[in-house]
Amino acid sequence: MKPLRVWAVARKEFTHVIRDPRSLGMGIAIPMLLLVLFGYALTLDVDNVPLVVWDQSESPASRQLVSGFLGSRYFLLRAYVHNYPEVERSVDSGRALMALVIPRDFAGRIESGRPAPVQIIVDGSDSNTATIAMGYADVVALTYSQEVAMETTRRIGGRMIHTPLDLRPRVWFNADMESKNYIIPGLIAVIMMVIAALLTSLTVAREWESGTMEQLISTPLKGSELILGKLLPYFAIGMLDVLLAVMMGQFLFRVPLRGNVVLLFAMAAIFLAGALSLGMVISIVTKSQLLASQLAMVLTFLPSFLLSGFMYAISNMPHAIQVVTYLIPARYFVTLLKGIYLKGIGLEILALEAGLLTVFGAVMVLFANLKFKKTLV
């Protein structure tokens, strides 16, 4: 392999990319746009749950319960309603996600020490959000019950009741429990996988469709020199994308980067080499830009988004699907990014993921070189 030949191909590809605004847009602008869109639009935080209240009791006890919901940052009062049809209309229209219905005899039951049932109506269309919202409501109800129990004990002059368990939770790595802190690192992996494969999936196919492949085949270029020369420009663009994504995560989304920056870029380089080579293989096999771009999207975006652990916990998937996820390279890169970003850990813990990612990169580079033949067949 001669460096001058590789550089000649790389320079030609660089020139093509610079002269083609679409390639530059796909290589730089689209990843940044996707990061901004997904970073702001995609959130798993459940705050300001819209709430309507039907307080049939209208007593100090019921108002105290309602104030517990309104004093929480997780609930946002939309309106007071006066019957079930109004509750139904609020939930059906999406005006409210949850309705609190307090019975007429609520105060009397509280004062007499009897159980006071309170109804919570939840829109279960989004089961995940509904489950989280019900968890918030349970906490408010438990806090209210404890306050009532202590007040009753003080009023009758009894001995104060102390709970035997003093639970003091402490959250590590993401103390504010903000979803963007783990969505952004995973999003970088998914976007880079898709863009990298799309960029190189058009390179060889474009040569075949434009008729210039015959000229390249007639040159003294070796197959490996052609492949490497075509990969280098897009590798440089990919690493620039990683740098911009890291800077956006740091300064735009305020995601803490606790780990080693050098390790992050080293793993990104390995991942990019594999993803770019995958796109090259697709381009070599299909010889059609349209087919190559469609196949690249199917083989990269869907598996990376659904099976990498970026959005959905792999441990919650069926066992057969969990086995399939081991074939998804984005799984290892997502794990590496989250470990480096949030936990600040290194290869002493992430050695297996780094090793498997390196195997993926090496296999794809080798496969691209083996698949390309300097023939017109």
Contacts of 28 (CB under 8 A, 6+ apart): 237, 240, 241, 244
| Residue 161 pLDDT > 80 | no
Contacts of 45 (CB under 8 A, 6+ apart): 177, 178, 179
Q: What is the DSSP letter of 45?
A: -
| Residue 17 pLDDT > 80 | no
Residues 214 and 258 in one domain: yes
| C-alpha–C-alpha distance, residues 338 and 344, integer Å | 9
pLDDT for 7: 83
Residues 289 and 215 in one domain: yes
Instruction: Please give the tally of structural domains in the chain.
Output: 2
Residue in this structure with the two tokens 């799309």, named with its chain if needed: 198
pLDDT for 162: 60
pLDDT for 159: 60
Q: Across residues 201-218, what is the average pLDDT?
A: 71
Structure tokens at 150: 């202590």
Instruction: Give the max Cα distance, the chain.
Output: 100
pLDDT for 375: 62
* Per-residue model confidence as pLDDT tens digits over 274-303: 999 998 888 888 888 788 888 888 888 888
Q: Is residue 377 part of a domain?
A: no
Q: How confident is the model at residue 101 (pLDDT cuts 50, 70, 90)?
A: very high
pLDDT for 326: 93
Cα distances (Å, whole numbers) of residue 355 to 321, 325, 362: 22, 16, 11
Residues 37 and 53 in one domain: no
pLDDT for 174: 82
What pTM, to 2 d.p., does this model score? Answer: 0.80
* Strand pairing category for 98-102 and 49-55: parallel
Q: Across residues 101-122, what is the average pLDDT?
A: 90
Helix or strand run (H / E) with residue 119:
strand 119-122
Measuring CA to CA, which residue among 284, 293, 300 is closest to residue 365? 284
Residues 256 and 110 in one domain: no
Q: Across residues 231-235, what is the average pLDDT?
A: 88
pLDDT for 234: 87
| C-alpha–C-alpha distance, residues 190 and 179, integer Å | 16
Domain that holds residue 305: 3-43+178-371
Residues 188 and 140 in one domain: no
pLDDT for 187: 87
Q: In what order do the strands lie in the sheet with 98-102?
A: 75-80, 49-55, 98-102, 119-122
| C-alpha–C-alpha distance, residues 353 and 365, integer Å | 18
pLDDT for 57: 93
pLDDT for 48: 87
| C-alpha–C-alpha distance, residues 266 and 256, integer Å | 19
Lowest mean pLDDT among 94-108, 263-277, 359-373: 359-373
Structure tokens at 349: 């813990």
Residue 113: strand, helix, or coil: coil
Average pLDDT, the chain: 85
Residues 100 and 125 in one domain: yes
> For residue 42, which phi and psi values (nearest 5 degrees)?
-90, 105
| Residue 3 pLDDT > 70 | yes
pLDDT for 377: 53
Q: Work out the angle at residue 367's Cα, subtended by the Cα atoms of residues 365 and 371, and round it to the nearest 5 degrees.
A: 125
Residue 162: strand, helix, or coil: coil
Residues 277 and 221 in one domain: yes
Specify the higher pLDDT residue, 327 or 162: 327
